[in-house]
Structure 1
Amino acid sequence: MERVFKIYVYEEGEMPIFHNGPCGSIYSTEGNFIYEIEKGSFYRTKNQEEAHVFFMPFSVVVMVQYLYEDGSKDRGAISEIVADYIQTISSKHPFWNLSLGADHVMLSCHDWGPYSTKSVPNLFTNSIRVFCNANTSEGFNPLKDVSLPEINLNTGDTKSLFGGSPPEKRSILAFFAGGLHGHIRHLLLGQWKEKDPDVRVYEKLPLDISYEWMLKNSKFCLCPSGYEVASPRVVEAIYAECVPVLISDGYVLPFGDVLNWKKFSVVVAVEDIGNIKKILMGISEAKYLKMQRRVKQVRRHFVMNGPTKRFDLFHMIVHSIWLRRLNMRILNRG
């Protein structure tokens, strides 16, 4: 892949909505990927004829920032911008029409990413859509779409987030802290909020307790979906060498083509939230130690380096796009 895969980045569109995106905050993967692919150190080609896929560098996060009126339910301006952009590139270049968009890629970490594609049927049904909000109930298709990890970066330095206490010194069985966002968290907090010394669940942490310390001293980190299926807690847990406990409906996990999540995480069905302690206590020490070692091994795949490095998050995203392109039969292009 590294030697042959070529991505053409459309140059149409003006900043800030195009060729830009947040490199910090909960949407950091969106801006960082746009930055790295446009920098052109890997994979990018200026020759349209040798491209395997065509990247559309618009940022849904920035669209929401500039076009959405707070409190309004009208998201029409966002879908109109996307539709106008597709019309522009399809009228100036032949490639969209040749494949009906099937070899075109868009990427978004905003919750409204899926919505932004519904105004263009071929974008929704044919294109490779790379989303943090990888929800099958909202039309995410794992055969052609890519699940993108959600990473909350407050600074450019991630190294301080890495590591934690060795397994034998992790005194907390399971930990979660977060607001009542969505029905899954309502169920989790209703069952466990500040009720068990082993399953430490908080809506708000006490001021004298560090969130990072809790991650780094827990064996298992609970990662329930919020309003949307993705949660930055999955990557936070991996950084802290804490085994993720995934609680969601319809969430397609990132990089599932190459990573066996069953080897380094625990999946708890929503209906089993009340049995979390029993499930985790039922995992033997030997199995836990294997899972925890594997968490440390896969961490490099969830790190956005600057400059990027082999097998890091940027390359994993591109690899996932590559796999979907290989599985596609592109009309008239072979």
Structure 2
Amino acid sequence: MQAYKRFILLWFLFLLTICLYFFQLTGKSKKFKSKESKNNGPKKLPSFIDDWEQINEIGRPPTPKSYDLRLHNSLYVSYKKTNKNCRMETCFDASRCDKNFHVFVYPLSELDSNGLMTSSRSILYQKMLDIILESRYYTDDYTKACVFVVAIDTLDRDPLSPDYIRNIPVKMQRLKHWNGGRNHIIFNLYSGSWPDYYEDDLGFYTGDAILAKASMSVTNMRPGFDISFPLFHKKHPERGGESGFVRSNTFPITKKYKLAFKGKRYVLGIGSETRNSIFHLHNGKDTIIVTTCKHGKNWKDAQDERCIVDNSLYEKYDYSELLKNSTFCLVPRGRRLGSYRFLEALQAGCIPVLLSNNWALPFNEVIDWNKAVIWADERLLFQVPEIINSVSETKLFALRQQTQILWEQYFNTIEKIVFVTFEIIKERLPMLQSRNGIIWNTSPGALVSQHSFTGNLHFNLPFNYHLLGKKPGTNFTAVIFSQQSTFHTLLNRLVRNLSASKYLSQIVVNSCVESGGKSGYQTIAGTQILISSGNGCRRFESLPFIKTEAVLSLDDDVVLSTDEIDFAFNVWQSFPERIVGFPARSHYWDSNKDSWLYSSKWTNDYSIVLTGAAFYHQYYNTLYTTWLSPLLIKTVEQSHNCEDILMNCLVSHVTRHPPIKVSQRKHYKEQGINGMPKSPWNDPDHFMQRQTCLNTFVALFGYMPLLQSSVRLDPILFKDPVSNFRKKYKQIELISN
């Protein structure tokens, strides 16, 4: 009986084992079929569409709690790729733009009313907004805007930074004209955070907006759409700016150090491989490469065996002295691809040697960086000495000169950096003619080479003749500025002397007397002249009647002989980028009053040539009316004075050269005779007003643009004891005043 029970139990266990084995095989079969189906069919990530719909195309996709960071990163990258196809023709509405290129900045009150903008802008971003608001680009009418700039600070998108602005997706959603980011531009200096510093991680979805971003890589930058932006310090000058350190290319060609670098060394994390390896280049003689681990609060916890030696060597060298006394400056990547060292090296005239693979250099769309920097490969560090030693002395001169041109024309102020960004966007618009690389990469640069002039008149710019191997035109247009309703004796005499010049093309009287806005020809002293009126009594109006490059600006009571006019024009032909004229004034700094003062005293030095009797290139009319800040023009209009001072400031600012005085004439007007009103020059109120204007101009330019000179040009054989028949300009020496 007992044997029978044991048999039944064993049989039961046998059947149970078979059943378990069968179910196990069935489970494996289902898993195999599921895996096979997964491999053959399309791969799909988990759906989080409910979370995505909440942000409605603005804001960064939220991170669901149910998946890890790696899954989130892959999802985020996939989401960002939907924007990678943006180009100007697909994500930018060019129909909103015209030749004036207006920029709209969202009113701060619009956001403040929603309680979203309490102390949410850094000082640096506020400076950028102020520059735009005071510029010629700005419009307060959004219907006229080509580009929109948000008032939300997007410069620093590192969540660990105190300047990091939170809840940007919600704030972007409140913008009335956001439209998915179309025609918007987002400025950014820092993105990502420790430890990975993801380049695309701005913390919000930018939509169709153009990114003007620092430290961009070539692979992530949308070509012809995004703009590589320079990385600059918070204390970077708003306006004015410092000049480059290289005053002239003098010998010796090479400086004390061949190659130098001083900066942080990252013991671990992104960027550490490059910074940790560059010490191999240091030889303590002509190559100085010093780094320090001493940065951050917990640097001692992560220090390695080299830190003590590195820190000690680091203290022996002054950074500014290395910059000024080195031929080449190493610019390795930091945590991000960009580095402050780049602009610092440009200013110092120290040729940058770049160790930052895949970095899209600032404004690389228009700037030819091969003329200013040396590229090296992070992976081939030991080739750096061979690369820099192979640079010829001729190339070294050219590279150093180009660093100064680029620094001073595009990078030494925040204003220039912002304006270059706008000009690049303008360059892409189909209705405007693109400026070539020569204009962008030579002094004075594209910021002062406006489309409205180069695209329509086809004249040479005043500072480009030497580049093109051409000479200025052989004729000039005399523009007489008149505030009188009748043509008096002095004007008749001036017209006769002008008519006798063999270089005269046309005489235009720019009349302040309204005549219904009409213009026409009249005869004065037997000469047919064009009367232009209805322009608001503005001296430097871009008149369509002017068909010559040279303009002789005159007051209607000027007394000049034909010889003086001809000689001054010949001088201008040699210096077409400058103002060339007769009456001169100067400025000086008064430390007691802590201000700039204006002087009309007759001295050897001068910085202003009054445009009541002066030659200049007509392109400066275009710059004056369309390029200068509206605040500068407003200062002139409110004072009804100082136009000539502002024009001198403009020309000196653009060319960095002083004007040129010709002839010994001290006075160029006969005052208070023949019924003429007394000149205001001796009026104390008029004089003080000009001093006020001068200081206002300095404040708006950000520095004193005027330059002193002691040069006066006179004809050959001027007052020499030779026969008068041998002198070309026989009447100039007879002038007594």
Q: Bigger relative contact order, structure 1 or 2, given CA contacts below 8 A and separation 6+?
A: 1
2:274 touches 2:378 (CA, 8 Å); kept in 1? no
1:16 touches 1:62 (CA, 8 Å); kept in 2? no
Counterpart of 1:127 (choices 206, 209, 212) is 209
The code of the aligned residue for 1:34 comes to L
1:202 to partner: Cα distance: 0.6
Q: Which residue of 2 is the match for residue 230 of structure 1?
A: 338
Change (3 A) 1:297 1:136: closer
- In structure 2, how many angstroms separate the alpha carbons of the residues matched to 1:2 and 1:274? 51
- In structure 2, how many angstroms separate the alpha carbons of the residues matched to 1:234 and 1:44? 30
Residues 214-248 of structure 1, C-alpha deviation per residue, up to 9 Å, x if partnerless? 10111111111100011111100111011111111
Counterpart of 1:261 (choices 326, 349, 369) is 369
Residues 131-160 of structure 1, C-alpha deviation per residue, up to 9 Å, x if partnerless? 1131345x3324211111112254749538
1:83 to partner: Cα distance: 1.0
| Mapping of residues 17-36 of structure 1, within 5 Å | 17=120, 20-23=121-124, 30-36=125-131
Residues 278-334 of structure 1, C-alpha deviation per residue, up to 9 Å, x if partnerless? 1100111111111111111111111116xx4xxx3232122234345669xxxxxxx
- In structure 2, how many angstroms separate the alpha carbons of the residues matched to 1:101 and 1:325? 18
- In structure 1, how many angstroms separate the alpha carbons of the residues matched to 2:418 and 2:209? 20
Q: Which residue of 2 is the match for residue 116 of structure 1?
A: 202
Q: Which residue of 1 is the match for residue 227 of structure 2?
A: 146
Change (3 A) 1:263 1:107: same
Residues 140-183 of structure 1, C-alpha deviation per residue, up to 9 Å, x if partnerless? 32421111111225474953873478562612111111112413
1:136 touches 1:251 (CA, 8 Å); kept in 2? yes
The code of the aligned residue for 2:212 comes to V
Tell me the number of residue pairs that the alignment of Structure 1 and Structure 2 aligns.
292
Residues 88-112 of structure 1, C-alpha deviation per residue, up to 9 Å, x if partnerless? 11xxx2x433xx3231111111234
Q: Which residue of 1 is the match for residue 134 of structure 2?
A: 40
2:157 touches 2:190 (CA, 8 Å); kept in 1? no
- In structure 2, how many angstroms separate the alpha carbons of the residues matched to 1:31 and 1:282? 45
Change (3 A) 1:33 1:320: farther
1:68 to partner: Cα distance: 4.8
| Mapping of residues 81-120 of structure 1, within 5 Å | 81-89=167-175, 93=176, 95-97=177-179, 100-112=180-192, 114-116=200-202, 119-120=204-205
Change (3 A) 1:228 1:207: same
Q: Which runs of 5+ in 2 are unaligned?
A: 1-96, 112-116, 193-198, 293-312, 432-737
Tell me the SS of whatever aligns to 1:162. Answer: coil
The code of the aligned residue for 1:170 comes to K
Tell me the SS of whatever aligns to 2:104. Answer: strand
So what's the TM-score if we normalise by structure 1?
Answer: 0.77
- In structure 2, how many angstroms separate the alpha carbons of the residues matched to 1:62 and 1:282? 40
2:401 pairs with 1:293 = yes
Change (3 A) 1:140 1:22: farther
1:249 to partner: Cα distance: 2.3
Q: Which residue of 2 is the match for residue 330 of structure 1?
A: none
- In structure 2, how many angstroms separate the alpha carbons of the residues matched to 1:130 and 1:226? 20
So what's the TM-score if we normalise by structure 2?
Answer: 0.37
- In structure 2, how many angstroms separate the alpha carbons of the residues matched to 1:69 and 1:152? 15
Change (3 A) 1:68 1:173: closer
Q: Which residue of 2 is the match for residue 8 of structure 1?
A: 104
Change (3 A) 1:265 1:31: farther
Give every structure 1 segment of 4 or more consecutive aligned residues whose post-TM-superposition deviation is greater than 6 Å.
Answer: none
Change (3 A) 1:196 1:210: closer
Tell me the SS of whatever aligns to 2:331. Answer: strand
Change (3 A) 1:170 1:315: same
2:286 pairs with 1:198 = yes
Residues 243-272 of structure 1, C-alpha deviation per residue, up to 9 Å, x if partnerless? 111111221111112210001111111122
Q: Which residue of 2 is the match for residue 303 of structure 1?
A: 412
| Mapping of residues 178-217 of structure 1, within 5 Å | 178-181=263-266, 182-192=271-281, 194-204=282-292, 206-217=314-325
- In structure 2, how many angstroms separate the alpha carbons of the residues matched to 1:215 and 1:31? 31
Q: Which residue of 2 is the match for residue 57 of structure 1?
A: 151
| Mapping of residues 57-76 of structure 1, within 5 Å | 57-60=151-154, 68=160
Tell me the SS of whatever aligns to 1:178. Answer: strand
- In structure 1, how many angstroms separate the alpha carbons of the residues matched to 2:336 and 2:153? 19
2:342 touches 2:352 (CA, 8 Å); kept in 1? yes
The code of the aligned residue for 1:46 comes to D
1:21 touches 1:62 (CA, 8 Å); kept in 2? no
Change (3 A) 1:220 1:263: same
Q: Which runs of 5+ in 1 are unaligned?
A: 24-29, 71-76, 328-334
- In structure 1, how many angstroms separate the alpha carbons of the residues matched to 2:326 and 2:419? 30
2:315 pairs with 1:315 = no
- In structure 2, how many angstroms separate the alpha carbons of the residues matched to 1:246 and 1:227? 15
1:2 touches 1:43 (CA, 8 Å); kept in 2? no
Change (3 A) 1:103 1:167: farther
1:127 to partner: Cα distance: 1.1
Note the aligned Cα RMSD (angstroms).
Answer: 3.0
Tell me the SS of whatever aligns to 2:152. Answer: coil
Larger Rg: 2
2:335 pairs with 1:250 = no
2:348 pairs with 1:240 = yes
2:278 touches 2:289 (CA, 8 Å); kept in 1? yes
Tell me the SS of whatever aligns to 2:361. Answer: coil
1:184 to partner: Cα distance: 4.7
Bigger Cα displacement from structure 2, 154-163 vs 165-174: 154-163
Tell me the SS of whatever aligns to 1:175. Answer: strand
Tell me the SS of whatever aligns to 2:123. Answer: coil
Residues 34-93 of structure 1, C-alpha deviation per residue, up to 9 Å, x if partnerless? 3311x33231111111111111122235676xx7588xxxxxx95x6221122111xxx2
Tell me the SS of whatever aligns to 1:45. Answer: coil
